[in-house]
Structure 1
């Protein structure tokens, strides 16, 4: 009898163990989300350095103290040239860097272009859709209408983000710095007819505001699905001119603000009439659509003409320094410079690819800039204000322009850039010295040349000075 009970108990235990094993099999194979890595990829999770991520000025000519670069092109056609066939070679290689321009740490806001000819050919016909300028490739005429198959485009975006997000799953081999910021196209209101600074036709999209909004929605959804931590910027708005606003009005009015994390504006040929880089006018414009509290990135900051060296370099240098400080003080979070001052002696630097070229031109290693006065202004800005926690406005006076091309002109600026327990005062204009500045101080001019003096000896002018207490 006892032996019979023992047998029954043992059988019951074995049955329970069988159920448990089967349950574990089902749970492990069907209910648990697994991390699958491609052969040869590393499973290491990569993160951006938060201090570097929080910096405010773009990298120019490989400057080690700056990290951000904008516009690395992710063109659907170049990766998925045939439906379902992916070639990541050029992007993987490009992100690893080929020359001094990409030296040291680079934090990209990469630019996604939703164009693949195999998709476009299913619904787009006619020469009007053919790319020109910087989007034109040598091997074929890329069509640049809205995607015909939005789901296929979204699937592509999801794969791109997954490959470069650094989460340890299906990452690109050798990835060192993840991409966490994505920009959806560039200046879609530029649809041909306008001429850029290098003589190229400005044609980045052929489509309607409603079509761009659908692209933005699909992109945002796919990016967030692959990487919930990622940030999305809408395409850079080319400026605050009325014809540009006409294109963007339906987008921002049509719940477009729900599909981006970063507001994005451009300022070209910036001068003393637009020292805020459009930031003040752009923020007011967004507020009309109920879009508030979005960080503002100025992803194209160009002073003067693109190709031609200014006649008055001293004036150019002053505007670069003053405008950079003023725009940040008015709420810009990041500034991405078009570094025309590094290429004035290279007329081919910004030209689009010629007919027959297979690949877009890679950025060249820049010339010796040790005697370039404008580059000294840039380096001084990186040294002084690339990193800060907050800005306190002590005093300011400005005039807002009325016409489309104008922004805001600053007459008096007194700002305190605070970084931890350090503070730098940046001052200009006909005003008294702030009372909190006294005693022995270090004064730097816009070029970074400095001297120590008593605060009582400071004379303010229209050219900014940088003041540090000793």
Structure 2
């Protein structure tokens, strides 16, 4: 086995350098059919779905081509069954193959857990996690064998980086965004979610090893700090501890889970913390939970609007299906109905995406008053009454303009002195 970067001298005098992009061990391939859609550029859309695989077809019809699978298939234990065993990529390959048919660009979450590696900690309660038992191993401390884990990261990233070297057979695009687990500060065990067990220094070391493994294979790939939990007060403190250790060197962006009513303030707090350590980074809202404001669809539009105006690079919403047998309340916020068709919330989101188009900048003029500058088009204003007091009027534009409601009704009218309500409207 050749050391990375080593030179091999042939008798004829030729010298070949073993590329740093070559895997440490041969990769086992699972042949895949070559079926490619047109993968969209990240600049063609900034709205994504969490678990678009539930219905890639319907997701793409909404105008969305970004997807993050959560927890997803990139789990060490499920790809490598024991130390030194061949890597088995059939599960992630299947998702990548389906995604590329519809032109989706994926974000992968790397889960550094393998029971055969965790056993060095004793497999007791120290590393016991909580939640997602069907997807993640029960023990969730940082890897004991950094070298073995680093090779896992390298092999996974190399297979999907699209550089033509050791790629999945039939790969059309690439996976260029990798998140290092999700919500590492959530460490509850009994009756809660525990996706990681360890202190900030443990996550710092995990970030470092993962970052180096990703960049060794794919220097241009984006490594994301595992999602901050906007509902967890300790989440920001955990990030600050990692930053104090110098962790900003080992991630390119920060992932955030938040709610529609708090997303703007959450982004502002994260941005301020990063800047206080002189390491500004992009913030990606990889899970936005919509709330009534005063209705769910209002909350969905307001949350995304405020997130982009606060500086979010991208915003992902869960592609939920209606299923009253599992979570009755889920039907109210689902995008897919019980028959597999679009709900009214889906149509509102679809219209929102169409209205934004290929936008270049977003700003909050005042609470409830937002402007999106769109490439090759007039600015789009999204307006609603944010003060809670009746009698507010359109005060950011004037004249005869096109006004569209969330229900899709559209008319051209003079907006001077037009009253606005808590329901957002589009003006262009």
Q: 1:126 & 1:55 partners in 2: Cα distance? A: 45
Give SS of 2:214's match. helix
Q: What's the CA shift for 1:74?
A: 0.5
The equivalent residue for 2:406 is 446
Is 1:92 matched with 2:99? no
TM-score by length of 2: 0.81
Indicate if the aligned counterparts of 1:158 and 1:225 stay in contact, CA closer than 8 A: yes
Q: 1:427 & 1:217 partners in 2: Cα distance? A: 43
Is 1:26 matched with 2:13? yes
The equivalent residue for 1:426 is 382
* CA distances 1:257-288 after superposition (whole Å, capped 9, x unpaired): 111111121114x43xx252621222123223
Q: What's the CA shift for 1:455?
A: 3.5
Unaligned segments of structure 1, at least 5 residues: 1-21, 196-200, 305-311, 352-363, 397-409
1:298 aligns with one of 281, 285, 300: 285
* CA distances 1:86-123 after superposition (whole Å, capped 9, x unpaired): 2111111222229xxx8612211100000112211123
2:228 aligns with one of 233, 237, 244: 237
Q: Of the two, which has the highest radius of gyration?
A: 1
1:154 aligns with one of 139, 150, 153: 150
Indicate if the aligned counterparts of 2:40 and 2:65 stay in contact, CA closer than 8 A: no
Give SS of 2:45's match. coil
The equivalent residue for 2:79 is 79
May I ask how many residue pairs the two structures share in their alignment? 393
Q: 1:211 to 1:171 in 2, by over 3 A?
A: same
Is 1:180 matched with 2:172? no
The equivalent residue for 1:119 is 117
The equivalent residue for 1:345 is 324
Unaligned segments of structure 2, at least 5 residues: 1-8, 386-391
Q: Which has the higher contact order (CA 8 A, sep 6+)?
A: 1
1:43-442 maps to which residues of 2 (within 5 A)? 51-59=41-49, 61=55, 62-64=58-60, 65-70=63-68, 71=70, 72-85=72-85, 86-97=87-98, 104-136=102-134, 142-193=138-189, 195=191, 201-239=192-230, 241-268=232-259, 270-271=260-261, 274=262, 276=264, 278-292=266-280, 294-304=281-291, 315-340=295-320, 342-343=321-322, 345-347=324-326, 367-368=338-339, 372-385=343-356, 387-393=358-364, 395-396=365-366, 410=367, 412-429=368-385, 430-435=392-397, 437-439=398-400, 441-442=401-402
Q: What's the CA shift for 1:290?
A: 2.3
Q: 1:347 to 1:112 in 2, by over 3 A?
A: same
Indicate if the aligned counterparts of 2:336 and 2:343 stay in contact, CA closer than 8 A: no
Q: 2:411 & 2:213 partners in 1: Cα distance? A: 53
Moved more, 170-179 or 118-127: 118-127
Q: 1:48 to 1:368 in 2, by over 3 A?
A: same
Indicate if the aligned counterparts of 2:129 and 2:188 stay in contact, CA closer than 8 A: no
Q: 1:159 to 1:188 in 2, by over 3 A?
A: same
Indicate if the aligned counterparts of 1:119 and 1:148 stay in contact, CA closer than 8 A: yes
TM-score by length of 1: 0.74
Q: 1:459 & 1:103 partners in 2: Cα distance? A: 46
Q: What's the CA shift for 1:31?
A: 3.8
The equivalent residue for 1:8 is none
Q: 2:212 & 2:226 partners in 1: Cα distance? A: 16
Indicate if the aligned counterparts of 2:46 and 2:315 stay in contact, CA closer than 8 A: yes
Q: 1:163 & 1:149 partners in 2: Cα distance? A: 22
Q: What's the CA shift for 1:54?
A: 4.7
Indicate if the aligned counterparts of 1:302 and 1:339 stay in contact, CA closer than 8 A: no
Moved more, 47-56 or 123-132: 47-56
